[in-house]
Amino acid sequence: MEKMYGAVERFDGIQQIGRTTFEVFYGFGEDENGKFQYRQTLPYKPPFDFVKDMVLTQINANTQEKITSGFKWNDLLVWLSEANQLNYSRDFLVASHLHERGEQLELPTYKFGTDDAPIYYTFETFEEFKSFSAAWAKHISDTVRDGWHEKANVDWSGYEI
């Protein structure tokens, strides 16, 4: 689905715009370019299951995008790619194990920000690293929960024509 800017309110549904052309609409949001909703134009009347799959796929993509690029910690943009999530988890498990045993630990340095404006951040204390780890895990959990909520609250009645 593509973003269509200029939307003023949410409309979940399908409209026939020609003899054999239909547009599927879903959601409502706002970003730096303005208010939008998602739209997909089809040259045929789509079956309900096809439309439902299209909308759920868009919700999943939005959820994944928000997980990956929607997290800030201490005003720093943190890219939560799957690889970074694995690295952050591994590093925290190792640091936790060493901290519990009272052993010397070297806390990690990560690249935050963007590729154009990277910020290399070295954690000073285990508590600070623990706070970072809890924050990004909560961001993922909250974002997934928001995605579930969005799926549960789609008004599917507008897609039946």
Ordered by start, the domain boundaries in the chain are 2-66, 71-146
| Chain centroid offset of residue 68 CA | 6
| Contact between residue 74 and residue 37 where contact means Cβ atoms under 8 Å apart | no
Q: What confidence tens digit (pLDDT) does each residue in 87-137 have?
A: 999 999 999 999 999 998 899 999 999 999 999 999 999 999 999 999 999
Per-residue b or e along 124-140, where b marks 16 or more CB atoms closer than 10 Å to that residue's CB: eebeebeebbeebeebb
pLDDT value at 160 more than 90: no
Q: What is the pTM of this model?
A: 0.89
Tokens at 135, concatenated: 């924050």
Tokens coding 47: 């079956």
For residues 159 and 24, the answer to whether their CB atoms sit within 8 Å is yes
Task: Kindly state the tokens that stand for 143.
Answer: 């974002």
Number of residues in the chain:
161
